[in-house]
Amino acid sequence: MALVSAKEMLTKAKAGKYAVGQFNINNLEWTKAILLTAQELNSPVILGVSEGAGKYMCGYKTVVGMVNGMLEELKITVPVALHLDHGSYDGALACIAAGFSSVMFDGSHYPIAENLEKTKELVGICDSKGISIEAEVGSIGGEEDGVVGAGECADPGECKQIADLGVTMLAAGIGNIHGKYPDNWAGLSFETLDAIQQKTGDMPLVLHGGTGIPEDMIKKAISLGVAKINVNTECQWAFQEATRKYIEEGKDKAGKGFDPRKLLAPGTEAIKATVKTKMELFGSVGKA
Ligand code: 13P
């Protein structure tokens, strides 16, 4: 199946009270692990690409070529969206030109008037091409690939202004943070999320910083309108731990254990296991 916009899968998720996972990709192993797991579990999925990861993978055209190739060669039939994560205005345009099926424009660091203006322009372009677009209000805390956010709670009135521009989905800061949550983290602000959902109605809401959020909070967030949850760091930790174990056990020194296809296999399997756990928690299994 060819790449699809995230609109239909997220509209269904919001109505069905589950969430679709966005898993960030870094290379071939990441992409293959996520696609195979989604297919095995019959789950829709969103592949996230940050601008930094796009550069690392030799540019957006390379990413589009790799993902499209895998969809065909691995016979993937579940809905897959290829999505720019925390994009700049120019980054969004570049991804649209390269063949992404979905983009995020993160204008949360601009004054709201400028965020509105730039988001509106991109909504027009995405609409004309059938591409889904995510906007952001109220920055997500922490640092991801050089994108640093203060972690404020979004203003529900501003969320409504952005939603009314016709974006497909909306990321709103509700105390969530990219990467590891500090021990003194106050948790998600469900009061803010509830107020945002009341103002934005059917709009699928996006929860960034999915790594390390306790299960009960994830479930409550879904019940309050979150239909897309982003996970990045947790797959990186899983890959790192499995790779470390392989080397610490000396397996890279035994026989042909140095072969990259063997060396990277435990990490790839660990990503699959992490993605499976998240899809089960988010409720997207069997929803393709
Ligand atoms: P984590 O790295 O905390 O899982 O966040 C991922 C994310 O929000 C990508 O935009």
Reported as a single tens digit per residue, the pLDDT across 36-57 is 999 999 999 999 999 999 999 9
- Is residue 150 scored above 60 in pLDDT? no
- Is residue 151 scored above 90 in pLDDT? no
Average pLDDT over the chain, rounded to an integer: 96
Residue of the nearest CA to atom 9 in ligand 1? 230
Please report the pLDDT score of residue 31 as a whole number: 98
Cα→Cα distances 52→16, 25, 177, 227, 261, Å: 33, 11, 18, 25, 25
Please report the pLDDT score of residue 160 as a whole number: 97
Residue 271 CB neighbour total at 10 angstroms? 27
Reported as a single tens digit per residue, the pLDDT across 175-215 is 999 999 988 888 999 999 999 999 999 999 999 999 999 99
Q: Does any ligand 1 atom lie closer than 6 A to the CB of residue 178? A: yes
- pLDDT band at residue 1 using 50, 70 and 90 as cut-offs: confident
Report the C-alpha gap between 36 and 252 in whole angstroms. 25
Please report the pLDDT score of residue 138 as a whole number: 83
Among residues of the chain, what percentage have pLDDT more than 70? 97
What's the predicted TM-score (pTM) here? 0.96
Catalytic residues: 85
Residue of the nearest CA to atom 5 in ligand 1? 209
Residue of the nearest CA to atom 1 in ligand 1? 209
Q: Does any ligand 1 atom lie closer than 6 A to the CB of residue 141? A: no
Reported as a single tens digit per residue, the pLDDT across 218-276 is 999 999 999 999 999 999 999 999 999 999 999 999 999 999 999 999 999 999 999 99
Distance from Cα 253 to the centre of ligand 1, integer Å: 34
Please report the pLDDT score of residue 141 as a whole number: 72
Please report the pLDDT score of residue 149 as a whole number: 62
* C-alpha torsion angle, residues 6, 145, 243, 262 (rounded to 10): 60
- Is residue 96 scored above 80 in pLDDT? yes
Q: Domain locations in the chain? A: 7-282
Kindly report the CATH number that applies to the domain delimited by 7-282.
3.20.20.70
Please report the pLDDT score of residue 144 as a whole number: 66
Distance from Cα 177 to the centre of ligand 1, integer Å: 8
The vertex-122 CA angle with 120 and 51, nearest 5°, equals 130
Q: Does any ligand 1 atom lie closer than 6 A to the CB of residue 44? A: no
Reported as a single tens digit per residue, the pLDDT across 173-186 is 999 999 999 888 88
Distance from Cα 233 to the centre of ligand 1, integer Å: 6
Please write down the HEC assignment for all residues of the chain. Answer: CCCCCCHHHHHHHHHHCCCEEEEECCCHHHHHHHHHHHHHCCCCEEEEEEHHHHHHCCCHHHHHHHHHHHHHHCCCCCCEEEEEEEECHHHHHHHHHHCCCEEEECCCCCCHHHHHHHHHHHHHHHHHHCCEEEEEECCCEEEECCEEECCCECCHHHHHHHHCCCCCEEEECECCECCCCCCCCCCCCHHHHHHHHHHHCCCCEEECCCCCCCHHHHHHHHHCCEEEEEECHHHHHHHHHHHHHHHHCCHHHCCCCCCHHHHCHHHHHHHHHHHHHHHHHHCCCCCC
Pocket test for ligand 1, best of 232, 237, 240 (most atoms within 8 A of CB): 232
Distance from Cα 229 to the centre of ligand 1, integer Å: 8
